[in-house]
Structure 1
Amino acid sequence: MNYVGTHARVVAALLIREMSTRFGSKPGGYLWALLDPIAHIVFLSVIFMAIAHTPPLGTSFPMFFATGYIGFQFYQASAGYLNTAVSSNKSLLSYPNVAPIDTVWARYILQLITTIVVGICVLSPIVALTRIQLSIQFHHLIEAALTGSTIALGTGLANNVLFVKFPLYEKVFGIVSRPLFLVSGIFYLPDSLPPGAREIILMNPLAHLVMQFRMGFYSQYRAVGFDADYLRSFALISLFFGFVLFTMCKGALRAR
């Protein structure tokens, strides 16, 4: 019990430190967390409004792109932030009470809370300004947030090890990750694609993540091809693999 309490206090202290480092040390740090997604959503809305009369789903372009972008961020923002949790807090690992996993938990909690707050702050004004009548399905939103952040946690745990052991892998991961924005169904519906293309896109679990997040806002969305079991299984496998690899190499992470 003392062990759990000690690490809970360490994680809380690291969480405060991360908040100060990430947001407090930069002008408009907290504001930028909102401006970044807003800029993406406005850009996509302007571009697609110029070439189409209606969005692929519903009647509001900003709402369509916001639900796709925010849903995707439950994975993308967390994964990018967690990948360097240990290396960025290397100096703190000289303290015996600070374990490598504590740095990951602190960043995971901070990013999950940040994405939730950003989602509320971005989506609420869109709903209010466009006067959209919504029947929000909270179970879809909660599950999408948890599965997306779980995939990110598993990926982040593994990458903290793999980035250190295999520097080339870090570059490869960055290259492979860039197209995810294009193949996760953020600005289109995977179920509207031709069968061959749809099957390829739906091999990407993040496409299912975005589909489920949108299901929480669009009650009429049937999400053809959505597979909740596939998404959950991928999340659990990612988490299991990440924890196993991280646990096996935690001594090496502290020593480096």
Structure 2
Amino acid sequence: MYLKTHVRVVAALLIREMSTRFGSRPGGYIWALVDPAAHIILLTVIFQAIARQPALGTSFPLFYATGYVGFSFYQSVVGYVSAALNSNKALLSYPNVAPFDTIVARYILQMGTTAFVAIIVIGAISTSLYHPLNLDWLPIMEAAIAGSLLALGTALSNTVLFRSWPLYESIYGIITRPLMLISGVFFLPDSIPQPFRDIVLLNPIAHVIVLFRSGFYPEYRATAYSPEYLYTFVTGSLLLGMTLFASSSKLLRNE
């Protein structure tokens, strides 16, 4: 009965989030596609002007799309989920609505939105290729899930820390601002020299992107990817986030 109540609450919150975010007009959904497409086009134009070919394969749009979309499974989720409680503060006065319900609803919506955008954007790019994509769905799906779970754990921690120490939110924003530049969206970590290669691979998101790309390029050996390293971070992030979240229930509901 308890679980059934929370499933209904999450479903209601999910519908509310979709209505608030996208509205009743199709323009909201179109913008969800336009934003990543614009980034990929800009990256393609810039790097195509300074390089003869991408670091992998022959298509600039596909190379940067796989990097940007792989990164988005982390970045878009962590940003959207971290703001779940602030956006649903009024609903927490209802005893049936738990703080974690708002987190779950936003996680499901953002994960689904990012996956939908990935299919449309990469599908559109595939129509311009000379050869059809030879996809390996296992690493693609594994990277998407691992990136989003890493983001979920980080978002759970952020939800508590943002409320406990407002200064942390500013510091977090400054520290994570260059994240896309150092995560392997624009380059292959495998191809850069030491010691910079090892420094870049300290970032678990770089492993997510390497794994995601390996599903699109059969010839890519992805030697930089370490499943042990990535899943240590994913597990640690979730455990830390859930511990902080569970121990701060009064703070999250009453503030």
Q: Shorter-chain-normalised TM-score: which range?
A: over 0.9
With over 3 angstroms needed to count, the CA separation of the structure-2 counterparts of 1:26 and 1:196, relative to structure 1, is: farther
Give the percent of matched residue pairs that are identical in Structure 1 and Structure 2.
56
Matches within 5 A, 1:19-98: 19-24=18-23, 28-98=27-97
Structure 1: which amino acid aligns with 2:159? N
SS in 1 for 2:91: helix
| CA gap 1:25/1:166 in 2 versus in 1, 3 angstroms | farther
Count of paired positions: 255
Contact 2:157/2:245 (CA < 8 Å) preserved in 1?
Answer: yes
Instruction: Check conservation: 2:81, 2:103, Cα contact below 8 A.
Output: yes
The aligned residue for residue 138 of structure 1 is 137
Q: Work out the CA distance in 2 between the residues paired with 1:133 and 1:192.
A: 26
Give the equivalent residue in structure 1 for 2:116. Answer: 117
Q: List aligned pairs for 1:96-245, cutoff 5 A.
A: 96-245=95-244
Q: Secondary structure at the match of 1:195?
A: coil
CA distance in 2, matches of 1:54, 1:78: 31
Distance 1:122 1:133 in 2: 15
Q: Partner residue of 1:250?
A: 249
| CA distance in structure 1 between the partners assigned to 2:239 and 2:24 by the alignment | 35
- What value does the CA root-mean-square deviation take over the aligned residues? 1.0
DSSP-derived class of the 2:34 partner: helix
Q: Specify the code of the residue in structure 2 equivalent to 1:119.
A: A
Aligned-partner Cα distance in 2 for 1:168–1:25: 37
Aligned-partner Cα distance in 2 for 1:199–1:38: 31
Contact 2:210/2:224 (<8 A) preserved: no
Moved over 4 A (4+): none
Q: How big is each residue's C-alpha offset from its partner over 1:93-149, in whole Å with a ceiling of 9 and x where there is no partner?
A: 010000000000000000000000000000011111223332211110111011000
Amino acid at match of 1:10: V
The alpha-carbon deviation at position 25 of structure 1 amounts to 6.3
Structure 1 residues without counterparts, runs of 5 or longer? none
Structure 2 length normalisation: TM-score?
A: 0.98
Q: Name the stretch that deviates more: 56-65 or 124-133.
A: 124-133
